[in-house]
Amino acid sequence: MNNFINFLHDYAQYHIITVNMKTNLFFFSLLFIAVSCNNSGSDTGKSTNDSSAANKQAVVNTNPATVTAPQSGTTVTVEGKEIKLGGSLLVTKDKDKLQPGEDYLCILTAPGGTNKESMVLNFLLALKTGTYPVVGMSFRRGESPHNEMYGGILGGKPKMTDYKVNITECRDLGSNNMGGHRWSISGYSEGLVIPAMELMLMDKTKNHPKEIKLDKCSFTNLSFDDNWEDMMQQGMKKMQGNK
C-alpha cells in the first residue's frame, strides 16, 4: 500500500500541471506569482553560521521597508558544476511545529538553469541567524523524455532531516505597510543527497540515477513578508467583496 501511495505521489509530480492540489498548494502557487515582485534586498552584513543564542539576535525595524537593488539569487553546485538560478521565498508559520522555537517554514524555489535545472529547498527559520534543519527538498533537470526528477512536490511533506541550512544574514527591512515586516536572508546548505522519484526509476531503459548530490546550495538577499498568509487572506476577502 505504501508503494502505491508513493507511486501516486510521484505521478502527481510528473504531471504537476494537471494535478488538483490541496488548498495549501493553491496558495503556494499564488505565492510564486507574488514573490517575483517581492525580492527586494538589503546591505550586506557580517556573515556567521554560529547557531548560539548570542548570534541569534533579531533587530526590530519599525520603519517602512526600503527597496534597493542588490544582487539576489541562488547558486547550486552539482557534480562539480556551478549553476546560477533565480530564487523566491514563501515563508509561513510552521503549523506542524516540527521544532519548537523555530516558528516559520521557508520554501525556497529556484528555477532558471540553462539545462532546465530547478530546485526547492524547505527549512525552518526563527527570523535570526543560525543553523536550521532542512525539512524537504527536490531537484530536476533536463527536458522530457530525458529529464531527471528527484524529491517530491515542492520538496515533499515537511519532515525533520539530518541536513542543515546555515543562515548567515537575516535583516529586518521594515514594515510592509500591511501589518507585518519584510525580511531578507542569505545562507547556504551543503551535501544534500536527494533520492530519485520512484516513477522515474520504473522505466529501466532511461537509466535514471537513483539519487543526486547537491554539493552546495547558497542563496543571497532573498526577501519575504512575515505575514504572507494574512496578506493572502485579506486579498481573498477583497476579491470576494468585489464580486
Residue-wise DSSP of 121-147 = EEEEE-SSSEEEEEEEEEEEES-TTS-
The band of 63, judged by pLDDT with boundaries at 50, 70 and 90, is low
Q: What is the pTM assigned to this prediction?
A: 0.72
88 residue type, one letter: S
Residue predicted with more confidence, 132 or 154: 132
Instruction: List the one residue out of 226, 10, 236, 237 whose CA is nearest residue 105.
Output: 226
Query: 217: which 3 cell numbers?
Result: 546550495
The two counts, helices (H) then strands (E), for the chain are 4, 10
Predicted confidence (pLDDT) at residue 50 exceeds the cutoff of 50: no
The 3-state secondary structure of 53-108, one letter per residue:
HHHCCCCCCCCECCCCCCCCEEEEEECCEEEEECCEEEEEECCCCCCCCCCEEEEE
pLDDT in tens, 82-115: 999 999 999 999 999 999 999 999 999 999 999 9
Q: Averaged over 195-205, what is the pLDDT?
A: 92
The band of 18, judged by pLDDT with boundaries at 50, 70 and 90, is very low
**Average confidence score pLDDT of the chain:** 79
Give the whole-angstrom CA distance, residue 184 versus residue 178. Answer: 17
